Amino acid sequence: MDRGSLAGQVALVTGAGRGIGREVAVGLAAEGMAVGLMGRSRDRLVDTLKACVREGARGVVVSADVTRPAAVREAVRTVERDLGPVDLLVNNAGQVDGAEVPLWETDPGQWWQVVETNLRGPYNLLRTVLPGMVARGRGRVLNLNSGFAVRPDGHYTAYATSKAALLRLSDNIADSLRQHGVVILDISPGAVATDMTAGIPMFADRQEWGSIPYTVGVLADAARGRFDRLTGRFVHVGRDSVEVLLSRAEHIVERDARTLRLRPYGADDPLA
């Protein structure tokens, strides 16, 4: 895979109407990528498209709910018809629990909506985009994940569970994708100021936020292939030193680190 310029490649970004998704789309457009913008609000997507066009990029807007397979298939067909085959898929669309409450006090419908958006949504995109990438022998997938995936949290059970499942999904398919020249990574931006995080009570008094431009830069580097050696693994932009992470890439792979695993209780643990 080319690890230099992104010019001429095609990116598909979900949840591109606002927040990190919008900034990622504009950032990739500035790198010369054509951008397919997917989301539920056409007006917001059009605003993002205008910003991408100002960067000199081609783009197309596709309104679709990522939880609906038929809508996703049609959206991907439109992007590939107008822009060309997808080189980079950015699974960004996501939701968070509607209330900071324990599981037994959650709204069942909203809880499952979060899981569907954060897990079924990426699955639908993967199921639609990966066949083309595999056939062409190249492609990259970046899943926007969260630190909630790797630590327990009793008040955001839908979000934490869905993000952990997404990380596990990437781990499950990384080896088979690697054989076809396709890379998949889960990247957490950390706590950055967006409309979604602004509505999370635990962040109500937060004064220091992570840098969205820095996150966009890391994602662009991932799109260029800088993190290909870490395929199937978790990168935390908010806490990782990128240079340190890259310097330890071989060690991380050898130790099977940055994946979800059971920790054995000792050498005699049958699961060790």
The CA–CA distances, whole Å, from 65 to 10, 44, 50, 95, 201 equal: 21, 14, 21, 12, 26
SS3 138: coil
For the stretch 222-232, pLDDT in tens is: 999 999 999 99
Longest dimension (CA), the chain: 61
Q: How far apart are CA 152 and CA 148, in angstroms?
A: 7
On the question of pLDDT at 1 being above 50, the answer is no
Which CATH entry fits the domain spanning 10-254: 3.40.50.720, 3.30.830.10, 3.30.465.10, 1.10.3720.10?
Answer: 3.40.50.720
Has 159 been annotated as catalytic? Answer: yes
Q: How far apart are CA 149 and CA 168, in angstroms?
A: 9
On average, the pLDDT of the chain sits at 92
| 137: confidence class by pLDDT, cuts 50, 70, 90 | very high
For the stretch 185-202, pLDDT in tens is: 999 987 665 666 656 666
pTM for the whole thing?
0.92
Average of pLDDT values for 52-63? Answer: 97
Which pLDDT score, from 0 to 100, does residue 212 have? 85
| 132: confidence class by pLDDT, cuts 50, 70, 90 | very high
On the question of pLDDT at 2 being above 80, the answer is no
For the stretch 140-188, pLDDT in tens is: 999 999 999 998 889 999 999 999 999 999 999 999 999 999 999 999 9
On the question of pLDDT at 209 being above 60, the answer is no
Q: How far apart are CA 94 and CA 104, in angstroms?
A: 22
Which pLDDT score, from 0 to 100, does residue 156 have? 94
Q: How far apart are CA 202 and CA 21, in angstroms?
A: 22
Dump the DSSP string for 65-106: -TT-HHHHHHHHHHHHHHT-S-SEEEE------SS---GGGS
Which pLDDT score, from 0 to 100, does residue 126 have? 98
Q: Which of 123, 156, 159, 214 is catalytic?
A: 159
For the stretch 78-111, pLDDT in tens is: 999 999 999 999 999 999 999 999 999 999 999 9
On the question of pLDDT at 207 being above 70, the answer is no
Which of 28, 21, 75 lies closest to 44 in space, CA to CA?
A: 21
CA-based torsion, 195, 198, 201, 206: positive or negative:
positive
Average of pLDDT values for 23-31? Answer: 97
